Amino acid sequence: MSNKEFTQAELDNLPTELFAFEENKTTAEGITNAPISFWRDAMRRLMKNYFAVVSLAIITLMLATSLVAPLLSDYDLVSRVNENLTTHAQLPPRIPVLEKIGFFDGTLVSEYNEKSFAALGYTEDQYKIVGTFDRKGNTYLRVKEYVYKINNIEDEYYFFGTDILARDIWTRVWYGTKISLLIGFYAVLIDIFIGVVYGGIAGYFGGTRIDDIMMRILEILYGIPSIVILFVLFMFITPGIVPIAIAIALTGWISVARMVRAQFLRLRDQEFVLAARTLGASNTRIIMKHLVPNVVAQIVIMASFSIPGAIFYEAFLAFIGIGLDITKPSLGVLINNALDTTYGAMSFIYQLVIPSALLSILMLSINLLGNGLRDALDPRMRNS
């Protein structure tokens, strides 16, 4: 194909139907996607984390159930509608659909010697012998008891069973989950507030006498065992949801303050802070408008890891006997109460296993979600 040159007059006389004209389109070099904000990008990366998404779904489900289940229950926290403790105490879990496949079917497996079992006077449809064994020369029977049929309450269903006072464990467990979550969130909110204020001031004035004094106070508090502070505090206040949250937060804010101080020391001499100071911005404005927003990601990560710690701390306090009272049971209180019942009576182990399992699932889910948030909010993983 040869190249031919045309004069302007020849070009003007060419028929236009021989040519296809396109609009002059320009695209920015190197830009293939629409701009995306930091938080939107973090959410996108969080949704790619399978464990974090599943954990978030579990936490949401547990939170929703803890709010709804106690309201829909026929039983309150401390008593039954029908105060018949003889027939409704120590009932095993029973769920309508699952009982058909032999799971949560309202039965207990107990051990009796032949004489004591005969004295019970069970009819043939009230039990099933599932095994025998010898102990110290005596023959024992392992008996599967149909407890609801024995007590003539076959129309009743207790999803998680009842305790020794005939209280519905389903209602108490989900109410306790709500209480544990409230204590965790309250404690973390107090942690964040105190830690950001204290650490922000120390970091902004880092290297000055103000920073030295504040850090020495922080080191003194850090050296005192937190359990000692809690014991001293509970000498003057009555344990409750807010007091326990405050007590836990009194030691939990220290790590937040140290993290915020380190971030402020890194950011305070950067160009955007120097520009704001040059334009006459006050110290308060610089801290609240320029520095705090730049450490929000780290604060969110700290909060996500502090919540399970606060929940576990409350469970520990309940275990040693300084937790909430019977009218506001948390998961820790339920575990502590179940220990008294299940000690030496393994037939009622469900009273210990159910709240312990929910507490473990809750803490594991929050920790996995915290790991996902840490990865999603890390700028170094932005291109992953």
Does pLDDT of 62 surpass 90? yes
Which pLDDT value is given to residue 205? Answer: 87
Residue 194: exposed, middle, or buried by beta-carbon count in 10 A (0-12, 13-18, 19+)?
middle
Better-predicted residue by pLDDT, 209 or 164 = 209
Average pLDDT of span 356-373:
90
- Of 220, 202, 218, the closest CA to residue 210 belongs to 202
Please compute Rg for the chain using Cα positions. 32
Average pLDDT of span 228-245:
77
Which pLDDT value is given to residue 383? Answer: 55
Average pLDDT of span 85-107:
84
Integer Cα distance of 155 and 149 in angstroms: 9
Integer Cα distance of 36 and 46 in angstroms: 15
Beta bridge partners of residue 109, listed in sequence order = 144
Angstrom CA distances, 292 to 194, 225, 286, stand at 13, 30, 9
Average pLDDT of span 313-318:
81
What single-letter amino acid sits at 352? Answer: L
Which pLDDT value is given to residue 81? Answer: 46
Q: 44 φ, ψ to 5°?
A: -60, -45
Which pLDDT value is given to residue 135? Answer: 78
CATH C-level class of 169-381: mainly alpha
SS3 320: coil
Does pLDDT of 384 surpass 90? no
Which pLDDT value is given to residue 24? Answer: 54
Do 52 and 368 contact (CB within 8 A), yes or no?
Answer: yes
The rounded mean pLDDT for the chain is 81
Does pLDDT of 225 surpass 60? yes
Average pLDDT of span 252-270:
87
Instruction: pLDDT band for 17, please (50, 70, 90 cuts).
Output: low
Does pLDDT of 2 surpass 50? yes
Average pLDDT of span 144-149:
88
Q: Where are the domains of the chain?
A: 86-150, 169-381
Integer Cα distance of 327 and 240 in angstroms: 10
Query: What is the full DSSP assignment across 144-169?
Result: EEEHHHHTT-TT---TT-B-TT--BH
Does pLDDT of 82 surpass 60? no
Better-predicted residue by pLDDT, 376 or 29 = 376
Average pLDDT of span 25-30:
52
The proportion of the chain whose per-residue pLDDT surpasses 70, expressed as a percent, equals: 84
Which pLDDT value is given to residue 60? Answer: 93
Average pLDDT of span 354-381:
85
Element at 107 (helix H, strand E)? strand 107-113
- Of 222, 204, 313, 312, the closest CA to residue 260 belongs to 204
pLDDT in tens, 42-54: 888 888 889 999 9
Least confident of 22-26, 120-124, 219-223: 22-26
Integer Cα distance of 376 and 358 in angstroms: 27
Integer Cα distance of 288 and 268 in angstroms: 12
pLDDT in tens, 320-351: 777 666 667 888 888 888 877 765 566 788 88
The proportion of the chain whose per-residue pLDDT surpasses 90, expressed as a percent, equals: 8
Q: What six digits make up the tokens of 199? A: 């650490």
Better-predicted residue by pLDDT, 245 or 86 = 245
Does pLDDT of 371 surpass 80? yes
What single-letter amino acid sits at 80? Answer: R
Instruction: pLDDT band for 380, please (50, 70, 90 cuts).
Output: low
Integer Cα distance of 298 and 292 in angstroms: 10
